[in-house]
Amino acid sequence: MGGRGYYQEWGKEPVELNPGDMVYVAPETKHWHGAAPDSDFAHIAIMNVVDGASNEWLEPVEAEYDARRCIDEAAKSM
3-state secondary structure 39-69: CCEECCCCCCCECCECCCCCCCCHHHHHHHH
- pTM across the whole model: 0.68
Q: Is the dihedral of CA 22, 26, 27, 33 positive or negative?
A: negative
How confident is the model over 48-64, as pLDDT tens digits? 877 877 777 777 777 66
For the chain, list residues with pLDDT below 70. Answer: 1, 63-78
Give me the residue spans of the domains in the chain.
Answer: 2-76
